[in-house]
Amino acid sequence: MKLALFDLDNTLLNGDSDFEWAQFLIGKGVLDREVHEATNITFFEQYKAGTLDIHAFLDFQLAPLARHSRAELDAWHSEFLATRIRPLITPAARALVQQHAASGDLLAIVTATNSFVTGPIAREFNIPHLIATIPAQENGCFTGQPRGMPSFREGKIARVEAWLESIGLWLGSFEQSWFYSDSHNDLPLLEKVTHPVAVDADATLAQVAAERDWLRISLRG
């Protein structure tokens, strides 16, 4: 049995779905450009620098979900997927996923981005399992708060382990396991699999991958 885990933003996608969702809402006039664009950019830079306060970010990211009906949000997301996300999916990314699927591997996306944004993207890739930060709901409406542990840094390990446990497995169940990521924020989970893969890696991850002789690939183009 083999396991293939994929980070999403700047790994399977040639861009960041979190960032793009906020920019999409700004472009539609749902969010105020002057107020939100600078904050969105600041959080994105903090993420890249490894200084992101995930709870402060989630307060910012999830708040718009609570102000609109699910029907309205779903309609916006369909447009977002078509106009902002599909152009960020390269043939190489689709081929990588298909390669693992054809081998019969257990596939999951493991991402810090919330499951409302990323669920349809996982389905676009035909990846059956999604481990993402969960936006809490009450009576079918989002509350603006996360539920449970965010899927971020060490939280990704805890969430993956809980998912595997729920289906009667653990990381040791797999003779081979892969995790594909671009970010040094994912070093904790990369260190847990038998095949860590740096994908179009940031400078910190690229250095670690070179020092540890990890596979380095590009999915761009």
The enclosing domain of 155 has a CATH number of: 3.40.50.1000
pLDDT of residue 8: 98
Give me the number of domains the chain comprises.
Answer: 1
Consecutive H or E run containing 22 = helix 17-27
Taking only the tens place, the pLDDT of each residue in 41-61 is 888 898 888 898 888 888 888
Residues in a beta bridge with 177: 3
Residues in a beta bridge with 2: 176
Q: At what angle do helices 70-80 and 115-124 cross, to 10 degrees?
A: 50
* pTM for this predicted structure: 0.94
CA atoms of 199 and 219, how far apart (whole Å):
7
pLDDT of residue 84: 97
CA atoms of 175 and 193, how far apart (whole Å):
10
Taking only the tens place, the pLDDT of each residue in 87-96 is 999 999 999 9
pLDDT of residue 35: 78
Mean pLDDT over each residue of the chain, to the nearest integer: 95
Q: Which residue range forms the structural domain that includes residue 96?
A: 2-217
pLDDT of residue 221: 67
Regions in the chain scoring below 50 on pLDDT: none
Taking only the tens place, the pLDDT of each residue in 143-163 is 999 999 999 999 999 999 999
> Where do we find the tokens 């761009």?
220
Q: How many CB atoms lie within 10 A of CB 15?
A: 14
From the list 18, 41, 40, the residue with the least C-alpha distance to 31 is 40
From the list 184, 189, 187, 190, the residue with the least C-alpha distance to 204 is 184
pLDDT of residue 67: 93
Positions marked catalytic:
7, 9
